[in-house]
Chains A and B, each alone.
Chain A
Amino acid sequence: DAGVTQSPTHLIKTRGQQVTLRCSPKSGHDTVSWYQQALGQGPQFIFQYYEEEERQRGNFPDRFSGHQFPNYSSELNVNALLLGDSALYLCASSTASGIHEQYFGPGTRLTVT
């Protein structure tokens, strides 16, 4: 049973550029959440996708956007990158009802120079 997968593993971008991160949820899961984890901090909720729609957004600017595809996979897009966007970006999958646990992928380490 494949767990949550993310790509790429690492990414280096320059300020002002745009980046797209990808996530495939655990088999049987239909909901994808994205989190940002700065060094030494706990993960911070960015947004969640279910049925190809954004259900809720955390305290992140509109430069952060996302998409969910019919196969439940998801993308996180960040425009106009800032140095402060450097972090580990985590994708978590879950089901919309019943079980509340979220299972995390290995993350994408984004470095903005």
Chain B
Amino acid sequence: EDQVTQSPEALRLQEGESSSLNCSYTVSGLRGLFWYRQDPGKGPEFLFTLYSAGEEKEKERLKATLTKKESFLHITAPKPEDSATYLCAVQARGGATNKLIFGTGTLLAVQP
């Protein structure tokens, strides 16, 4: 069964303190791995798509990487406005649709 596990569940950082969020996945065949940011009570905001092991994507203070079993979201010198829940999702190959299978997310709090 396709599955996504994110860790830690919650992370508290001081402003400027870099860290990484983990997303482990099992999928029959990976079409793509996606990172989203979600603010409280709002819909997920698309951040990155990764397709193959070794691929990296960057956006401002965020950098996403992918291996055959997991993905990392590295946050460099975070600011309070980076506080949100970060969701990881996978799409499997061969399905009838491009449905997303999500993890439960990592709640990030960045304190000034």
**In the bound complex, what is the Cα–Cα distance between A59 and B95 (angstroms)?**
15
Contacts of A90 in B (CB 8 A): 43-44
A33-B99, A56-B95 known; A41-B32 Cβ under 8 A: no
- Give A94 to B41 CA distance when docked, in angstroms: 22
Stretch at the interface among A12-20, A43-51, A62-70, A77-85: A43-51
| Binary contact track A79-98/B, C-beta < 8 Å → 1, others 0 | 00000000010101010000
B43 to A, closest residue via Cβ: A104
Question: Please, how many angstroms separate the alpha-carbon atoms of A107 and B100 in the complex?
Answer: 16
**Looking at the complex, which one of A100, A103, A106 makes contact with B98 (CB distance below 8 Å)?**
A100
Interface of A is mostly: strand
Alpha-carbon separation in the docked complex, A56 to B96 (Å): 7
Q: Is the CB of B43 within 8 A of A107?
A: yes
CB of A25 within 8 A of chain B? no
The distance in angstroms between the C-alpha atoms of A31 and B41, with both chains bound, is 24
Chain B CB within 8 A of A61 CB:
no
Q: Which residues of B contact A48 (CB under 8 A)?
A: 97-99
Q: Within residues 31 to 83 of chain B, which ones have a CB less than 8 A from any CB in chain A?
A: 31-32, 34, 36, 41-46, 49
Q: Does A101 contact B (CB under 8 A)?
A: yes
Chain A positions near chain B (C-beta within 8 angstroms): 4, 6, 31, 33, 35, 40-45, 48, 50, 55-56, 58, 88, 90, 92, 94, 100-107, 109
User: What 4 A-B pairs have minimum CB-CB distances, sorted nearest first?
Assistant: A42-B102, A104-B43, A56-B97, A45-B99
